[in-house]
Structure 1
Amino acid sequence: MTLPPPPFLTRPERDLRGWMARFDPDALPVLAETAVMLETWRANEDAVDAHLMTQTIVRDPLMTLKLFAQVARTTRRRSWDDARGDAETVTAALVMLGIGPFFRHFGPQAVAESWLCTTPGALDGFMAVLERSRRAAAFALAFAVHRLDHDAAVLHEAALLHDFAELLLWLQAPTLAQAVAHRLRTEPGLRSLQAQQELLNIALPDLQHALMEAWRLPSLLVRATDDRHLEDPQVRNVTLAIRVARHSAHGWDDAALPDDVRDIADFLHLSEEPTRRLLHEIDTADVD
Structure 2
Amino acid sequence: MLIHPLPDLAAWTAYLREQPIPVLPHTAAAIEALRPCEDELDASTLADHLTGDPLMTLQLLAYAAQVRPAHYAGAAETVTAALVFIGIAPFFRAFDRLLTTEELLHGRPDALEGLEQVMRRAARAATFSLGFAVHRMDADAAMLHEAALLHGFSEMLLWCHGPDLALEIRERQRRDPTLRSAAVQQAVLNVTLPQLEQSLMRVWKLPETLVRLTDERQTADPAVRNVLLAIRVARHTQHGWDNAAVPDDVRDVAELLSLSPEAARHKLMELDATD
TM-score range, shorter chain: over 0.9
- Counterpart contact for 2:17–2:200, Cα < 8 Å: no
Residue 135 (structure 2) pairs with residue 146 (structure 1): yes
Q: Is the 8 A contact 1:155 1:238 kept in 2?
A: yes
Matching residue of 2:219: 230
SS of aligned partner of 1:14: coil
Q: Does 1:65 align with 2:54?
A: no
Instruction: Name the residue aligned to 2:5.
Output: 12
- Partner of 2:85 in structure 1? 96
Instruction: Measure how far apart 1:88 and its partner are.
Output: 1.2
RMSD over aligned CA atoms reads 1.2
Specify every segment of 5 or more residues in structure 1 that has no aligned partner in the other structure, as ranges: 1-7
Structure 2: tracts of 5 or more residues without a match = none
Q: 1:106 to 1:24 in 2, by over 3 A?
A: farther
Matched, 1:35 2:24: no
What is the deviation of 1:272?
A: 1.4
Is 1:247 aligned to residue 240 of structure 2? no
Q: What SS class does the counterpart of residue 249 from structure 1 fall into?
A: coil
Which amino acid is 1:40 matched to?
Answer: A
In structure 1, C-alpha distance between the alignment counterparts of 2:47 and 2:19, rounded to whole Å: 19
Scaled by the length of structure 1, the TM-score of the pair is 0.93
Deviation (angstroms), 1:117: 3.5
Helix, strand or coil at the partner of 1:104: helix
State how far apart, in whole Å, the 2-side matches of 1:61 and 1:219 are: 18
**1:96, 1:25 → 2: CA distance?**
24
Q: Does the 8 Å contact 1:26/1:66 carry over to 2?
A: no
**Distance in 1 separating the partners of 2:243 and 2:177:** 14
1-structure distance, mates of 2:59, 2:89: 16
TM-score by length of 2: 0.97
Other-structure match for 1:79: 70
- CA shift, 1:80, in A, is 2.6
Deviations 1:228-263 (A, max 9, x none): 000001100001100110111011111111111111
Paired position in structure 1 for 2:182? 193
Deviation of residue 216 (structure 1)? 0.6
Q: Map of 1:18-29 to 2, 5 A cutoff?
A: 18-24=11-17, 27-29=20-22
Q: d(CA) in 1 for partners of 2:146 and 2:19?
A: 19
Aligned twin of 1:281 = 270
CA distance in 1, matches of 2:19, 2:171: 30
Seq. identity, %: 51
CA deviation vs aligned residue, 1:110-163 (integer Å, no higher than 9, x gap): 111222241241111111100000000000001011111111100000000110
Distance (Å, rounded) in 1 between the aligned partners of 2:269 and 2:164:
34
CA contact (8 A) 1:133 1:161 kept: yes
Distance in 2, Cα, partners of 1:195 & 1:129: 17
Displaced runs of 4+ in structure 1, greater than 6 A?
A: none
